[in-house]
Amino acid sequence: MPIATVNPANGETLKTYEAMGDEEIERRLRLAEATFRTYRTSTFAERARLMHRAADLLDEDQQDIGRIMTTEMGKPVKQARAEAAKCARSMRWYADHAQELLADEEPAASDVKDSGASRALVRYRPLGPVLAVMPWNFPLWQVVRFAAPALMAGNVGLLKHASNVPQTALYLEDLFHRAGFPEGAFQTLLIGSGAVEEILRDERVKAATLTGSEPAGRAVASVAGDMVKKTVLELGGSDPYVVMPSADIDRAARIAVTARVQNNGQSCIAAKRFIVHTDVFDAFAERFVAGMKALTVGDPLAEETEVGPLASEQGRSDLEELVDDAVESGATVLCGGERPDGPGWYYPPTVLADITREMRVHREETFGPVATLYRVADLDEAVLVANDTPFGLSSNVWTRDEGEVDRFVRDLEAGGVFFNGMTASHPAFPFGGVKRSGYGRELSGHGIREFCNITTVWHGA
Protein backbone atom coordinates (compact mmCIF):
# COMPACT_ATOMS: atom_id res chain seq x y z
CA MET A 1 0.00 0.00 0.00
CA PRO A 2 1.50 3.40 -0.97
CA ILE A 3 2.13 5.99 1.73
CA ALA A 4 -0.25 8.66 0.52
CA THR A 5 -3.08 11.02 1.33
CA VAL A 6 -6.05 9.97 -0.80
CA ASN A 7 -9.23 11.97 -0.21
CA PRO A 8 -12.02 9.44 0.49
CA ALA A 9 -14.67 11.95 -0.57
CA ASN A 10 -13.52 11.86 -4.18
CA GLY A 11 -10.67 9.36 -4.51
CA GLU A 12 -8.13 12.06 -5.41
CA THR A 13 -4.50 11.44 -4.43
CA LEU A 14 -3.27 14.64 -2.80
CA LYS A 15 0.21 13.76 -1.50
CA THR A 16 2.54 10.80 -1.75
CA TYR A 17 5.61 10.00 0.35
CA GLU A 18 8.63 7.79 -0.14
CA ALA A 19 9.09 5.11 2.49
CA MET A 20 12.13 5.61 4.69
CA GLY A 21 15.14 3.56 3.68
CA ASP A 22 17.30 1.34 5.88
CA GLU A 23 19.80 4.10 6.66
CA GLU A 24 17.13 6.50 7.89
CA ILE A 25 15.44 3.81 9.96
CA GLU A 26 18.78 2.94 11.55
CA ARG A 27 19.47 6.60 12.29
CA ARG A 28 16.16 6.93 14.04
CA LEU A 29 16.62 3.76 16.06
CA ARG A 30 20.04 4.99 17.23
CA LEU A 31 18.51 8.34 18.13
CA ALA A 32 15.68 6.71 20.07
CA GLU A 33 18.13 4.61 22.08
CA ALA A 34 20.41 7.57 22.80
CA THR A 35 17.54 9.85 23.76
CA PHE A 36 16.09 7.28 26.14
CA ARG A 37 19.33 7.09 28.11
CA THR A 38 18.94 10.72 29.18
CA TYR A 39 15.17 11.23 28.93
CA ARG A 40 14.54 8.40 31.37
CA THR A 41 16.28 10.46 34.09
CA SER A 42 14.08 13.53 33.59
CA THR A 43 11.66 14.43 36.35
CA PHE A 44 7.90 14.14 36.24
CA ALA A 45 7.74 17.92 36.52
CA GLU A 46 9.90 18.35 33.42
CA ARG A 47 7.85 15.86 31.42
CA ALA A 48 4.58 17.43 32.60
CA ARG A 49 5.73 20.87 31.48
CA LEU A 50 6.46 19.54 27.99
CA MET A 51 3.21 17.59 27.81
CA HIS A 52 1.17 20.63 28.81
CA ARG A 53 2.95 22.61 26.09
CA ALA A 54 2.09 19.93 23.53
CA ALA A 55 -1.56 20.09 24.61
CA ASP A 56 -1.61 23.87 24.25
CA LEU A 57 -0.15 23.63 20.74
CA LEU A 58 -2.67 20.99 19.77
CA ASP A 59 -5.50 23.25 20.89
CA GLU A 60 -4.06 26.04 18.75
CA ASP A 61 -3.79 23.67 15.77
CA GLN A 62 -7.29 22.21 16.15
CA GLN A 63 -8.78 23.70 12.99
CA ASP A 64 -5.84 22.77 10.75
CA ILE A 65 -5.25 19.24 12.03
CA GLY A 66 -9.00 18.64 11.96
CA ARG A 67 -9.09 19.39 8.23
CA ILE A 68 -6.04 17.20 7.63
CA MET A 69 -7.63 14.22 9.40
CA THR A 70 -10.89 14.68 7.50
CA THR A 71 -9.08 14.93 4.17
CA GLU A 72 -7.01 11.84 4.90
CA MET A 73 -9.66 9.46 6.27
CA GLY A 74 -13.06 11.06 5.80
CA LYS A 75 -14.47 11.65 9.30
CA PRO A 76 -16.84 14.65 9.60
CA VAL A 77 -14.73 17.69 10.35
CA LYS A 78 -16.65 18.51 13.54
CA GLN A 79 -15.73 15.07 14.87
CA ALA A 80 -12.11 15.61 13.80
CA ARG A 81 -11.88 18.83 15.80
CA ALA A 82 -13.48 17.08 18.77
CA GLU A 83 -10.86 14.34 18.49
CA ALA A 84 -8.06 16.91 18.64
CA ALA A 85 -9.64 18.55 21.70
CA LYS A 86 -9.97 15.17 23.41
CA CYS A 87 -6.30 14.45 22.78
CA ALA A 88 -5.26 17.75 24.36
CA ARG A 89 -7.40 17.06 27.45
CA SER A 90 -5.90 13.59 27.80
CA MET A 91 -2.36 14.93 27.50
CA ARG A 92 -3.08 17.28 30.37
CA TRP A 93 -4.64 14.46 32.40
CA TYR A 94 -1.49 12.37 32.16
CA ALA A 95 0.73 15.38 32.76
CA ASP A 96 -1.17 16.00 36.00
CA HIS A 97 -1.53 12.40 37.18
CA ALA A 98 1.53 10.44 36.01
CA GLN A 99 3.63 11.04 39.10
CA GLU A 100 0.80 9.85 41.33
CA LEU A 101 0.06 6.81 39.12
CA LEU A 102 3.72 5.75 39.12
CA ALA A 103 4.54 6.60 42.72
CA ASP A 104 6.59 4.08 44.69
CA GLU A 105 4.44 1.48 46.43
CA GLU A 106 5.29 0.36 49.95
CA PRO A 107 4.24 -3.14 51.06
CA ALA A 108 2.68 -3.66 54.45
CA ALA A 109 5.20 -3.26 57.28
CA SER A 110 4.51 -6.81 58.45
CA ASP A 111 5.38 -8.19 55.01
CA VAL A 112 8.58 -6.15 54.86
CA LYS A 113 9.62 -7.50 58.26
CA ASP A 114 8.63 -11.04 57.33
CA SER A 115 10.83 -10.86 54.21
CA GLY A 116 13.85 -10.01 56.33
CA ALA A 117 14.14 -6.49 54.95
CA SER A 118 14.68 -3.22 56.75
CA ARG A 119 12.61 -1.57 54.05
CA ALA A 120 11.19 -2.45 50.64
CA LEU A 121 9.22 -0.84 47.86
CA VAL A 122 7.96 -1.33 44.33
CA ARG A 123 9.15 1.18 41.73
CA TYR A 124 7.93 1.70 38.15
CA ARG A 125 10.76 2.32 35.71
CA PRO A 126 10.49 2.97 31.96
CA LEU A 127 11.37 0.18 29.53
CA GLY A 128 12.86 2.09 26.60
CA PRO A 129 11.85 2.69 22.98
CA VAL A 130 8.31 1.43 22.34
CA LEU A 131 7.04 0.76 18.82
CA ALA A 132 3.44 1.81 18.19
CA VAL A 133 1.63 0.39 15.15
CA MET A 134 -1.46 2.53 14.80
CA PRO A 135 -4.61 2.62 12.60
CA TRP A 136 -6.21 5.36 10.54
CA ASN A 137 -9.69 5.55 12.08
CA PHE A 138 -8.78 7.87 14.98
CA PRO A 139 -5.43 9.03 13.65
CA LEU A 140 -4.68 11.41 16.52
CA TRP A 141 -6.42 9.76 19.45
CA GLN A 142 -5.10 6.24 18.92
CA VAL A 143 -1.55 7.61 19.00
CA VAL A 144 -1.96 10.09 21.84
CA ARG A 145 -3.54 7.53 24.16
CA PHE A 146 -0.28 5.57 23.78
CA ALA A 147 2.15 8.47 23.53
CA ALA A 148 0.99 10.58 26.49
CA PRO A 149 1.36 7.84 29.13
CA ALA A 150 4.47 6.36 27.52
CA LEU A 151 6.30 9.69 27.42
CA MET A 152 5.17 10.63 30.92
CA ALA A 153 6.54 7.29 32.18
CA GLY A 154 9.95 8.12 30.67
CA ASN A 155 9.78 5.92 27.58
CA VAL A 156 10.37 7.13 24.04
CA GLY A 157 8.06 6.39 21.12
CA LEU A 158 8.44 5.12 17.56
CA LEU A 159 5.27 5.50 15.50
CA LYS A 160 4.42 3.35 12.49
CA HIS A 161 1.12 4.91 11.46
CA ALA A 162 -1.34 3.68 8.85
CA SER A 163 -0.12 4.42 5.33
CA ASN A 164 -3.19 6.48 4.42
CA VAL A 165 -2.66 9.12 7.15
CA PRO A 166 0.95 10.24 6.60
CA GLN A 167 0.28 13.94 7.16
CA THR A 168 -1.27 13.24 10.55
CA ALA A 169 1.67 10.98 11.42
CA LEU A 170 4.20 13.66 10.55
CA TYR A 171 2.18 16.27 12.41
CA LEU A 172 2.44 14.22 15.60
CA GLU A 173 6.22 14.07 15.45
CA ASP A 174 6.34 17.81 14.79
CA LEU A 175 3.92 18.52 17.64
CA PHE A 176 6.09 16.85 20.27
CA HIS A 177 9.21 18.46 18.77
CA ARG A 178 7.67 21.95 18.91
CA ALA A 179 6.59 21.31 22.50
CA GLY A 180 10.25 20.92 23.46
CA PHE A 181 10.57 17.16 23.93
CA PRO A 182 14.14 16.10 23.15
CA GLU A 183 14.85 15.04 19.59
CA GLY A 184 14.22 11.32 19.44
CA ALA A 185 11.61 11.22 22.20
CA PHE A 186 8.85 10.70 19.64
CA GLN A 187 9.58 9.81 16.03
CA THR A 188 7.37 8.92 13.09
CA LEU A 189 8.59 6.12 10.83
CA LEU A 190 7.18 6.46 7.32
CA ILE A 191 7.37 2.78 6.45
CA GLY A 192 5.15 0.09 5.04
CA SER A 193 3.84 -2.82 7.07
CA GLY A 194 6.54 -5.07 5.63
CA ALA A 195 9.22 -3.16 7.55
CA VAL A 196 7.63 -3.64 10.97
CA GLU A 197 9.03 -7.11 11.70
CA GLU A 198 12.68 -6.14 11.35
CA ILE A 199 12.20 -3.08 13.56
CA LEU A 200 10.37 -5.10 16.19
CA ARG A 201 13.17 -7.67 16.18
CA ASP A 202 15.77 -4.95 16.81
CA GLU A 203 17.13 -5.25 20.35
CA ARG A 204 16.84 -1.51 20.86
CA VAL A 205 13.05 -1.70 20.65
CA LYS A 206 11.82 -2.97 24.00
CA ALA A 207 8.05 -3.37 23.50
CA ALA A 208 5.21 -2.77 21.08
CA THR A 209 1.59 -1.69 21.07
CA LEU A 210 -0.82 -2.22 18.21
CA THR A 211 -4.34 -1.06 17.51
CA GLY A 212 -5.77 -2.57 14.37
CA SER A 213 -7.06 -5.70 12.73
CA GLU A 214 -6.88 -9.19 14.16
CA PRO A 215 -4.43 -10.41 11.44
CA ALA A 216 -2.12 -7.46 12.14
CA GLY A 217 -2.30 -8.19 15.86
CA ARG A 218 -1.44 -11.84 15.33
CA ALA A 219 1.57 -10.89 13.19
CA VAL A 220 2.98 -8.40 15.70
CA ALA A 221 2.29 -10.65 18.69
CA SER A 222 3.99 -13.57 16.95
CA VAL A 223 7.18 -11.62 16.28
CA ALA A 224 7.19 -10.03 19.73
CA GLY A 225 6.62 -13.42 21.32
CA ASP A 226 9.56 -14.84 19.42
CA MET A 227 11.69 -11.98 20.75
CA VAL A 228 10.13 -12.19 24.25
CA LYS A 229 8.93 -8.58 24.15
CA LYS A 230 5.93 -7.08 25.88
CA THR A 231 2.92 -6.19 23.70
CA VAL A 232 -0.46 -4.55 24.17
CA LEU A 233 -3.06 -5.33 21.50
CA GLU A 234 -6.37 -3.58 20.86
CA LEU A 235 -7.99 -5.35 17.94
CA GLY A 236 -11.49 -5.58 16.52
CA GLY A 237 -14.83 -5.27 18.22
CA SER A 238 -18.42 -6.23 17.54
CA ASP A 239 -19.96 -4.56 20.55
CA PRO A 240 -23.48 -5.48 21.69
CA TYR A 241 -26.05 -2.81 22.49
CA VAL A 242 -28.69 -4.46 24.67
CA VAL A 243 -32.07 -2.82 25.28
CA MET A 244 -34.29 -4.20 28.05
CA PRO A 245 -37.97 -3.35 28.80
CA SER A 246 -37.20 -0.91 31.63
CA ALA A 247 -35.07 1.29 29.37
CA ASP A 248 -35.91 4.80 28.20
CA ILE A 249 -36.65 3.66 24.63
CA ASP A 250 -36.63 7.10 23.04
CA ARG A 251 -33.22 7.92 24.47
CA ALA A 252 -31.84 4.44 23.84
CA ALA A 253 -32.82 4.65 20.16
CA ARG A 254 -31.45 8.17 19.78
CA ILE A 255 -28.09 7.29 21.35
CA ALA A 256 -28.00 4.05 19.35
CA VAL A 257 -27.77 6.02 16.12
CA THR A 258 -24.74 7.95 17.35
CA ALA A 259 -23.21 4.81 18.83
CA ARG A 260 -23.38 3.09 15.45
CA VAL A 261 -22.34 5.85 13.04
CA GLN A 262 -19.75 7.79 15.04
CA ASN A 263 -16.63 8.17 12.89
CA ASN A 264 -18.66 6.97 9.88
CA GLY A 265 -19.20 3.68 11.72
CA GLN A 266 -15.46 2.95 11.66
CA SER A 267 -14.78 2.50 15.35
CA CYS A 268 -13.76 -0.62 17.22
CA ILE A 269 -15.95 0.42 20.16
CA ALA A 270 -18.95 1.47 18.09
CA ALA A 271 -22.11 -0.44 18.94
CA LYS A 272 -22.69 -2.87 16.10
CA ARG A 273 -25.16 -5.55 17.24
CA PHE A 274 -28.44 -4.20 18.63
CA ILE A 275 -30.03 -6.83 20.86
CA VAL A 276 -33.53 -5.82 21.90
CA HIS A 277 -36.03 -7.48 24.23
CA THR A 278 -39.15 -8.55 22.35
CA ASP A 279 -41.42 -6.42 24.58
CA VAL A 280 -39.81 -3.21 23.27
CA PHE A 281 -38.39 -4.44 19.97
CA ASP A 282 -40.93 -2.83 17.64
CA ALA A 283 -40.83 0.53 19.40
CA PHE A 284 -37.04 0.61 19.43
CA ALA A 285 -36.68 -0.57 15.83
CA GLU A 286 -39.09 2.07 14.53
CA ARG A 287 -37.21 4.89 16.27
CA PHE A 288 -33.76 3.53 15.46
CA VAL A 289 -34.44 3.07 11.75
CA ALA A 290 -36.03 6.52 11.53
CA GLY A 291 -32.94 8.03 13.16
CA MET A 292 -30.58 6.23 10.77
CA LYS A 293 -32.63 7.40 7.76
CA ALA A 294 -32.56 11.00 8.96
CA LEU A 295 -28.76 11.29 9.08
CA THR A 296 -27.07 13.81 6.80
CA VAL A 297 -24.57 12.01 4.57
CA GLY A 298 -22.21 14.14 2.50
CA ASP A 299 -19.00 16.13 2.22
CA PRO A 300 -17.08 15.50 5.46
CA LEU A 301 -15.72 19.05 5.39
CA ALA A 302 -19.26 20.46 5.59
CA GLU A 303 -20.28 21.42 9.11
CA GLU A 304 -23.74 19.85 8.76
CA THR A 305 -22.46 16.42 7.68
CA GLU A 306 -23.05 13.59 10.15
CA VAL A 307 -21.74 10.68 8.06
CA GLY A 308 -18.94 10.98 5.53
CA PRO A 309 -17.27 8.44 3.24
CA LEU A 310 -15.51 5.30 4.36
CA ALA A 311 -11.75 5.66 4.52
CA SER A 312 -10.92 3.42 1.57
CA GLU A 313 -12.44 1.78 -1.44
CA GLN A 314 -11.46 -1.63 -0.07
CA GLY A 315 -13.20 -0.88 3.21
CA ARG A 316 -16.43 -0.11 1.38
CA SER A 317 -16.13 -3.27 -0.70
CA ASP A 318 -15.60 -5.37 2.43
CA LEU A 319 -18.68 -3.83 4.03
CA GLU A 320 -20.78 -4.41 0.92
CA GLU A 321 -19.78 -8.08 0.88
CA LEU A 322 -21.03 -8.54 4.44
CA VAL A 323 -24.35 -6.87 3.67
CA ASP A 324 -24.84 -8.77 0.41
CA ASP A 325 -24.06 -12.08 2.10
CA ALA A 326 -26.62 -11.34 4.83
CA VAL A 327 -29.33 -10.37 2.34
CA GLU A 328 -28.70 -13.46 0.22
CA SER A 329 -29.05 -15.55 3.40
CA GLY A 330 -32.40 -14.02 4.36
CA ALA A 331 -31.67 -10.80 6.26
CA THR A 332 -34.21 -8.00 5.94
CA VAL A 333 -32.94 -4.53 4.96
CA LEU A 334 -34.82 -1.93 7.04
CA CYS A 335 -32.91 0.98 5.52
CA GLY A 336 -29.87 1.57 3.32
CA GLY A 337 -28.04 -1.42 1.92
CA GLU A 338 -27.09 -0.07 -1.51
CA ARG A 339 -24.01 1.81 -2.65
CA PRO A 340 -24.89 5.34 -3.84
CA ASP A 341 -23.90 6.68 -7.24
CA GLY A 342 -21.20 9.32 -7.54
CA PRO A 343 -17.58 9.84 -6.47
CA GLY A 344 -16.14 8.94 -3.11
CA TRP A 345 -16.37 5.83 -0.93
CA TYR A 346 -19.76 6.47 0.61
CA TYR A 347 -22.08 3.85 2.06
CA PRO A 348 -25.52 4.67 3.49
CA PRO A 349 -26.55 4.13 7.12
CA THR A 350 -27.99 0.62 7.03
CA VAL A 351 -30.03 -1.53 9.40
CA LEU A 352 -30.36 -5.30 8.91
CA ALA A 353 -32.85 -7.50 10.76
CA ASP A 354 -33.58 -11.27 10.86
CA ILE A 355 -29.91 -12.09 11.41
CA THR A 356 -28.88 -15.74 11.77
CA ARG A 357 -25.68 -17.31 13.08
CA GLU A 358 -24.77 -18.56 9.60
CA MET A 359 -24.39 -15.05 8.20
CA ARG A 360 -20.91 -13.54 8.02
CA VAL A 361 -22.28 -10.29 9.45
CA HIS A 362 -23.07 -12.19 12.66
CA ARG A 363 -19.47 -13.36 13.10
CA GLU A 364 -17.41 -10.56 11.55
CA GLU A 365 -16.93 -6.91 12.42
CA THR A 366 -18.89 -4.41 10.33
CA PHE A 367 -16.53 -1.45 9.94
CA GLY A 368 -18.94 1.12 8.60
CA PRO A 369 -22.47 2.47 9.23
CA VAL A 370 -24.22 -0.93 9.20
CA ALA A 371 -26.23 -2.14 12.21
CA THR A 372 -27.61 -5.61 12.87
CA LEU A 373 -30.84 -5.93 14.84
CA TYR A 374 -31.74 -8.94 17.02
CA ARG A 375 -34.97 -9.78 18.86
CA VAL A 376 -34.53 -11.70 22.14
CA ALA A 377 -37.04 -13.17 24.58
CA ASP A 378 -35.33 -12.49 27.90
CA LEU A 379 -32.13 -11.56 29.70
CA ASP A 380 -30.60 -15.00 29.31
CA GLU A 381 -31.01 -14.90 25.54
CA ALA A 382 -29.68 -11.34 25.44
CA VAL A 383 -26.47 -12.44 27.19
CA LEU A 384 -26.19 -15.48 24.93
CA VAL A 385 -26.44 -13.39 21.75
CA ALA A 386 -24.16 -10.65 23.14
CA ASN A 387 -21.42 -13.18 23.90
CA ASP A 388 -21.85 -15.09 20.63
CA THR A 389 -18.91 -13.33 18.97
CA PRO A 390 -15.16 -13.89 18.82
CA PHE A 391 -14.68 -10.33 20.07
CA GLY A 392 -15.02 -8.80 23.53
CA LEU A 393 -14.04 -5.15 23.46
CA SER A 394 -16.91 -3.23 25.08
CA SER A 395 -20.68 -3.46 25.53
CA ASN A 396 -23.72 -1.26 26.12
CA VAL A 397 -26.80 -2.13 28.18
CA TRP A 398 -29.98 -0.13 28.66
CA THR A 399 -31.88 -1.09 31.80
CA ARG A 400 -33.12 0.49 35.04
CA ASP A 401 -33.30 -2.85 36.85
CA GLU A 402 -30.43 -3.19 39.35
CA GLY A 403 -30.75 -6.96 39.33
CA GLU A 404 -30.23 -6.95 35.58
CA VAL A 405 -27.25 -4.62 36.01
CA ASP A 406 -25.56 -7.15 38.29
CA ARG A 407 -26.23 -9.99 35.84
CA PHE A 408 -24.84 -8.14 32.84
CA VAL A 409 -21.70 -7.06 34.70
CA ARG A 410 -21.17 -10.66 35.79
CA ASP A 411 -21.91 -12.37 32.50
CA LEU A 412 -20.96 -10.15 29.57
CA GLU A 413 -17.60 -11.08 28.03
CA ALA A 414 -16.15 -7.64 27.38
CA GLY A 415 -13.55 -5.19 28.63
CA GLY A 416 -16.24 -2.65 29.50
CA VAL A 417 -19.95 -2.56 30.31
CA PHE A 418 -21.63 0.83 29.77
CA PHE A 419 -25.13 1.28 31.17
CA ASN A 420 -27.69 3.70 29.75
CA GLY A 421 -25.16 5.40 27.49
CA MET A 422 -22.71 4.66 24.71
CA THR A 423 -19.18 3.36 25.08
CA ALA A 424 -16.57 6.10 25.24
CA SER A 425 -12.91 6.24 26.23
CA HIS A 426 -11.53 8.53 28.94
CA PRO A 427 -7.97 8.70 30.29
CA ALA A 428 -9.14 7.85 33.81
CA PHE A 429 -10.63 4.48 32.85
CA PRO A 430 -8.82 1.40 31.49
CA PHE A 431 -9.52 0.54 27.87
CA GLY A 432 -9.10 -2.85 26.20
CA GLY A 433 -10.78 -6.17 25.58
CA VAL A 434 -10.84 -9.93 25.91
CA LYS A 435 -11.04 -12.83 23.47
CA ARG A 436 -9.94 -11.78 19.98
CA SER A 437 -10.25 -8.11 20.84
CA GLY A 438 -6.76 -8.34 22.28
CA TYR A 439 -5.04 -8.08 25.65
CA GLY A 440 -3.49 -5.53 27.92
CA ARG A 441 -4.96 -2.14 28.72
CA GLU A 442 -4.54 1.43 27.56
CA LEU A 443 -5.35 4.58 29.55
CA SER A 444 -5.67 5.02 33.33
CA GLY A 445 -3.01 3.79 35.72
CA HIS A 446 -3.23 0.35 34.14
CA GLY A 447 -2.23 1.78 30.78
CA ILE A 448 0.74 3.84 31.95
CA ARG A 449 2.15 0.84 33.82
CA GLU A 450 1.96 -1.52 30.80
CA PHE A 451 5.34 -0.30 29.53
CA CYS A 452 7.11 -0.07 32.86
CA ASN A 453 9.61 -2.34 34.54
CA ILE A 454 7.82 -3.14 37.78
CA THR A 455 10.82 -3.32 40.08
CA THR A 456 11.06 -4.75 43.58
CA VAL A 457 13.56 -2.76 45.68
CA TRP A 458 14.64 -4.63 48.85
CA HIS A 459 17.04 -3.53 51.58
CA GLY A 460 18.50 -6.00 54.06
CA ALA A 461 18.14 -5.48 57.78
Q: Which residues are catalytic?
A: 234, 268
Chain center to CA of 57: 23
